[in-house]
Amino acid sequence: MKTVIMAGGKGTRIASINADVPKPMIEICGKPILEYQIECLKKQNLTDIILVIGHLGNVIEEYFKNGERHGVQIVYIREEYPLGTAGALYHLKGVITEDFLLINGDILFDVDFTLFLEAHRKNHSMATIFTHPNSHPYDSGIIVADREGGVTGWLTKEDEKKWYKNRVNAGLHLLSAKLLDQFEEPEKRDLDRDILKPLIAEHQLYVYDSPEYVKDMGTPDRYYSVEGDIKSGLVEKRNLSVKQKAVFLDRDGTINKYVGFLKDIDHFELIDGVAQAVRMINRSGYLAIVITNQPVIARGEVSWEELEEIHNKMETLLGNSGAYIDDIFCCPHHPDQGFAGERKEYKKVCECRKPKPGLLLQAAQKYNIDMGNSWMVGDSMGDMEAGRRAGCKVVYLGDEKAEGELTAPNLLEGIKLILAL
């Protein structure tokens, strides 16, 4: 499979770091951004690379040449004048005849492309966008998708947003070569507006959600943040081919104030200190994963759409404070019958309802998690039992110390306890 890297950007916002080279050639920890990208591709045998260059493109050509020194094969497409984020794809007609990987040249990543490709092929779509949560969704484009991953909406930075899932376009795309047929001449085109968004109405655009490491270096602050992540080893540790570790979080009474069965989104309120606690998890290298029983689905008191909106509120509030949840696993079942309006398909004894460990084991399989190095944190003995049965260490949240358990008064203190061990 061919990989196309769009490496023609000027990098105006990050010019204070180095204005004398194109943005993908800005060095971080002694190596250009573009070299990190090529190394990640080479490790996964993605060695057939096309570099689209423009501003100061000669710097890129002189450094990488034909790619032989880096163990890859590189050919170049030079933009004689700016063609936007997609116009240069015109030059790929006839060169690319099958699905290809399209990458923004200003992002640092370490992801398992095998999983990305499997998801793309499963959906038989024209395009799949690699999406992830980030620490600044409020100034990012948000991708809206259904439960199968089909894109249903695309909110720009400028669009008014109330509650939303923290799902951001990471700048990695898998595209069908058929999309190149629409290019009749080399003209300025925008990838998002002109190529991807029209696919929504045709049900031909999907997302692939992943917590793996992808960050853009659009500003000096983000550049220095990525530099710290490289030095700490976080970048390569988040590739899903490597064993992960997670902090599993109960929801009600752990993240939000306990109000019994939460049915009304207006009653959802974060507990003080939770955003700081989740932010600490994000920065530590642990995945932050919510594990929650929601029998309100089985009881017919809340629809899936209403539950998702409650979770969107949770993600929005956390995102406003620079924190994010990597995934949410929810049990909708309840064994007892006799409630007015109950949904009989969810009225059953299942393996995912805590204190059974089913949800944690699902997460472990999906994200290659080492459960022995992971934690379950919650405010009930059911949380503790689920965590232990899944092979995790546990922290109980409560005002009184629970016998035989690591105990903390709230999530923030619980995370401090975990990270101090």
Q: Which residues are catalytic?
A: 250, 252
DSSP-assigned letters across all residues of 311-340: HHHHHHHHHHTT---SEEEEE---S----T
413: helix, strand or coil: helix
Which long-range contacts link 76-79 to residues 24+ away (Cβ below 8 Å)?
Answer: 76/50, 76/51, 76/52, 77/50, 77/51, 77/52, 77/53, 78/53, 78/54, 79/8, 79/52, 79/53, 79/54
Tokens found for residue 193: 């507006």
Q: Give the integer Cα–Cα distance in Å for 29 and 131.
A: 26
Contact 358, 350 (CB under 8 A): yes
DSSP annotation of 26: -
DSSP-assigned letters across all residues of 151-204: EEEEE-TTS--SS----EEEEEEEE-GGGGGG--S-----IIIIIITHHHHTT-
- For 304, the enclosing helix (H) or strand (E) is helix 304-320
